[in-house]
């Protein structure tokens, strides 16, 4: 790997520089709030100390960034103090968003301070505080850099499926701490987090606590550079809104999409690249959100007043936007293709159209039939996913075959919309031209306790083979009375589109360097995938280079 120098923003966790202890008298005097008397006559006040601090881009990454955080209880006068070089500090008040978890009854308080009218390509410092911040004398401090204007060179990183380092939570692993450190070592301008953030829905009686452990783990990176997420199936939670996404939507302030579904999908532009973040649960066939198998009901805390969740209940979101997301996607891609300042289109989503994982989920035909034709029509260059906890790179693909799949059980023909590769070997010079086809990357090796590095193969030929989900796998009664099961992928196809698979490690990070090129010349993106060898079974901090992909094309102003 290529670790960089520590960046200009100071120590990884600014709060590591401890403030002197604050006396209770000082705390209440500074808080400016009425102290309540408890049964022993002791004072008690809501704790508005910021935690889980993270950044996201605003509508224009060269001009706007949002600082978001949570606090254990309601904050009083939550605010950011922004410091630009050579300028007076500016005070920005934060907006509160809350929700009450429908399973354990905990109310979660989050705060969002939009920083607007920033200077392009500039470094900023900021601090986050509130009147009832226990550390208000030395508040949490972070920093960030805005995107430059026009075409410029920049780096971003990506993975999905992170979880938390707290091993008492289902699917959490200490590797998620190393994964956050890996982002910091590569110092990207921003990071794409491809869904399945913390698996709170696998811990249904403690969802807000899992989110807090996730937020405090990513803070040492996400408070220093935007982390841009997309929702995964494990962000869909019982008790939290019509689509189970209230926890996710409350915590993240994301660019507006102008539809009835803010926060689920969005786009933003950095330099000559348009990034499009999608919510694939809207189009996939797979039922993979919150699910209670049984036996016996799942019981929300009595304070919620909610009914028990019966065995066999799942939250299935396919089609929830009524096509609104796909219409937004087509309009967004069409506008990008009319803009000769945009050379590259990068899509982020959680679930996979091309994955030959043997023990994971596999491919979803819903993405293939709904969105791949749009990726073809408008020339999407890269699709970055997670969901299967491994690394796989596809050949460039365009179009599909409708007669290449078969039912996994009966062998009968099934239309899997098998993507067609436009190349099946490394090109001369090792440089791909994605004008000919879209390359899909599975980057699901964030930091869960369930890494996967096993891939399907045709038992007769040994050639790569993939599972495909072509119909809903809703819960069905299983062999054990009162216990429900969901079946896996229903179809198989030859994975003629699979170019590279990592069988060594199920953990890694992709690092992308965009070279804008010279006027009327060529532009390129170099992707280097680093994996954590030796991370199983013990966590490992070191990440080594496994795969390099270079894509290049003429600039669109050429």
**Nearer residue to Fe ion within complex by CB, 196 or 390:** 196
Of the ranges 105-113, 193-201, 327-335, 373-381, which one interacts with Fe ion (CB under 5 A)?
Answer: 193-201
Of the ranges 109-117, 135-143, 364-372, 380-388, which one interacts with Fe ion (CB under 5 A)?
Answer: 380-388
Residue sitting closest to Fe ion (CB): 196
**Nearer residue to Fe ion within complex by CB, 133 or 161:** 161
The answer to whether 49 and 134 are in contact (CB under 8 A) is: yes
Task: Tell me the closest approach of the beta carbon of residue 170 to Fe ion, in angstroms.
Answer: 11
Six-digit token pair at 320?
Answer: 């929830």
Angstrom distances, CA of residue 135 to CA of 12, 139, 263: 18, 5, 31
Of the ranges 144-152, 159-167, 212-220, 459-467, which one interacts with Fe ion (CB under 5 A)?
Answer: 159-167
CA geometry: angle at 75 spanning 69 and 78, to 5°?
65
**Nearer residue to Fe ion within complex by CB, 48 or 232:** 232
The answer to whether 446 and 385 are in contact (CB under 8 A) is: no
Q: Which residues of 91-110 are buried (b: 16+ CB within 10 A; e: fewer)?
A: eeebeebebebbbbbbebbb
Task: Tell me the closest approach of the beta carbon of residue 201 to Fe ion, in angstroms.
Answer: 10
Q: Which residue has tokens 């170099």?
A: 526
Of the ranges 156-164, 262-270, 403-411, 428-436, which one interacts with Fe ion (CB under 5 A)?
Answer: 156-164
The answer to whether 526 and 440 are in contact (CB under 8 A) is: no
CA geometry: angle at 320 spanning 409 and 106, to 5°?
105
**Nearer residue to Fe ion within complex by CB, 196 or 494:** 196
Six-digit token pair at 237?
Answer: 């939670």
Of the ranges 70-78, 161-169, 218-226, 530-538, which one interacts with Fe ion (CB under 5 A)?
Answer: 161-169
**Nearer residue to Fe ion within complex by CB, 65 or 170:** 170
Query: Would you tell me how many other CB atoms lie within 10 Å of the CB of residue 79?
Result: 21
The answer to whether 148 and 62 are in contact (CB under 8 A) is: yes
- How many residues bind Fe ion (CB under 5 A)? The answer is 5
Cα–Cα distance between 498 and 464 in angstroms, integer? 7
Kindly give the pairing relationship between strand 154-159 and strand 418-421.
Answer: unpaired
Choosing from 60, 101, 161, 235, the residue that interacts with Fe ion (CB under 5 A) is: 161
DSSP string, 312-366: TEE---TTTTTTHHHHHHHHHHHHHHH-TT--EEEEE-SS-SS--BSSS--EEHH
Task: Tell me the closest approach of the beta carbon of residue 360 to Fe ion, in angstroms.
Answer: 8
Query: Would you tell me how many other CB atoms lie within 10 Å of the CB of residue 235?
Result: 31
**Nearer residue to Fe ion within complex by CB, 140 or 529:** 529
Write out the binding residues for Fe ion, residues 204-233 only, by CB under 5 A. Answer: 232-233
**Nearer residue to Fe ion within complex by CB, 82 or 385:** 385
**Nearer residue to Fe ion within complex by CB, 102 or 232:** 232
Task: Tell me the closest approach of the beta carbon of residue 291 to Fe ion, in angstroms.
Answer: 12
**Nearer residue to Fe ion within complex by CB, 193 or 270:** 193
Write out the binding residues for Fe ion, residues 231-270 only, by CB under 5 A. Answer: 232-233
**Nearer residue to Fe ion within complex by CB, 56 or 172:** 172
**Nearer residue to Fe ion within complex by CB, 136 or 191:** 191
Task: Tell me the closest approach of the beta carbon of residue 233 to Fe ion, in angstroms.
Answer: 4
Choosing from 133, 187, 196, 490, the residue that interacts with Fe ion (CB under 5 A) is: 196
The answer to whether 139 and 174 are in contact (CB under 8 A) is: no
Of the ranges 17-25, 89-97, 379-387, 407-415, which one interacts with Fe ion (CB under 5 A)?
Answer: 379-387
Task: Tell me the closest approach of the beta carbon of residue 246 to Fe ion, in angstroms.
Answer: 19
Task: Tell me the closest approach of the beta carbon of residue 161 to Fe ion, in angstroms.
Answer: 4
Choosing from 185, 243, 387, 440, the residue that interacts with Fe ion (CB under 5 A) is: 387
Task: Tell me the closest approach of the beta carbon of residue 540 to Fe ion, in angstroms.
Answer: 20
Q: Which residue has tokens 């054990």?
A: 480
Q: Which residues contact 23 (CB under 8 A, 6 or more apart)?
A: none
Of the ranges 62-70, 157-165, 370-378, 403-411, which one interacts with Fe ion (CB under 5 A)?
Answer: 157-165
| Cis status, amide bond into 73, omega within 30 of 0 | no
Six-digit token pair at 330?
Answer: 């087509």
Task: Tell me the closest approach of the beta carbon of residue 388 to Fe ion, in angstroms.
Answer: 8
Q: Which residues bind Fe ion (CB under 5 A)?
A: 161, 196, 232-233, 387
């Amino acid at each position: 790997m290529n670790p960089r120098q520590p960046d200009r923003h100071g120590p990884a966790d600014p709060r590591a520089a401890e403030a002197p202890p604050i006396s209770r008298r000082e705390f209440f005097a500074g808080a400016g709030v009425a102290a309540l008397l408890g049964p022993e006559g002791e004072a008690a006040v809501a704790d508005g100390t910021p935690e889980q601090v993270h950044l996201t881009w605003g509508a224009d990454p060269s001009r706007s960034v949002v600082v978001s955080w949570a606090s254990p209880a309601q904050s009083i006068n939550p605010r950011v103090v922004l410091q630009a070089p050579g300028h007076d500090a500016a005070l920005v008040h934060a907006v509160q968003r809350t929700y009450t978890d429908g399973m354990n009854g905990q109310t979660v308080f989050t705060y969002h301070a939009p920083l607007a009218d920033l200077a392009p390509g500039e470094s900023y410092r900021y601090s986050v505080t509130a009147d009832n911040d226990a550390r208000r004398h030395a508040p949490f401090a972070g920093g960030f850099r805005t995107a430059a204007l026009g075409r410029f060179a920049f780096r971003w990183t990506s993975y999905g499926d992170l979880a938390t380092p707290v091993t008492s939570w289902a699917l959490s692993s200490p590797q998620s701490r190393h994964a956050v450190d890996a982002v910091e070592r590569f110092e990207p301008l921003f990071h794409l987090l491809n869904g399945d953030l913390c698996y709170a829905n696998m811990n249904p009686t403690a969802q807000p606590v899992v989110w807090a452990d996730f937020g405090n783990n990513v803070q040492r990176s996400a408070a220093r550079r935007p982390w841009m997420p997309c929702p995964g199936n494990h962000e869909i939670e019982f008790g939290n809104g019509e689509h189970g996404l209230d926890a996710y939507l409350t915590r993240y302030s994301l660019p507006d999409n102008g539809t009835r579904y803010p926060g689920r999908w969005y786009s933003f532009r950095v330099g000559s690249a348009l990034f499009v973040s999608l919510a694939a649960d809207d189009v996939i066939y797979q039922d993979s959100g919150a699910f209670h198998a049984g036996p016996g009901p799942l019981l929300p805390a009595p304070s919620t007043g909610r009914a028990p969740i019966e065995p066999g209940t799942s939250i299935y979101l396919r089609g929830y936007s009524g096509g609104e997301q796909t219409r937004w996607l087509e309009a967004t891609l069409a506008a990008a293709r009319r803009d000769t300042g945009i050379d590259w289109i990068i899509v982020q989503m959680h679930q996979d159209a091309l994955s030959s994982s043997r023990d994971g989920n596999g491919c979803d035909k819903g993405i293939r039939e709904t969105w791949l034709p749009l990726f073809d029509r408008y020339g999407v260059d890269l699709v970055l996913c997670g969901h299967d906890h491994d690394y796989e790179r596809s050949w460039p693909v365009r179009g599909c075959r409708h007669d290449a799949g078969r039912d996994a059980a009966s062998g009968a023909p099934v239309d899997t919309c098998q993507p067609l590769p436009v190349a099946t070997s490394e090109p001369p010079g090792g440089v791909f031209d994605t004008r000919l086809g879209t390359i899909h990357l599975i980057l699901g090796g964030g930091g869960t306790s369930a890494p996967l590095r096993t891939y399907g193969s045709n038992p007769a030929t040994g050639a790569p083979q993939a599972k495909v989900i072509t119909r809903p796998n809703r819960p069905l009664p299983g062999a054990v009375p009162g216990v429900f099961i969901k079946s896996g992928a229903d179809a198989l196809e030859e994975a003629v589109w699979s170019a590279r698979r990592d069988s060594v490690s199920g953990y890694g990070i992709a690092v992308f360097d965009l070279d804008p090129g010279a006027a009327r010349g060529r532009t390129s993106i170099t992707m280097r995938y680093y994996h954590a060898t030796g991370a199983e079974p013990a966590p490992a901090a070191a990440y080594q280079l496994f795969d390099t992909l270079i894509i290049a094309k003429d600039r669109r102003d050429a």
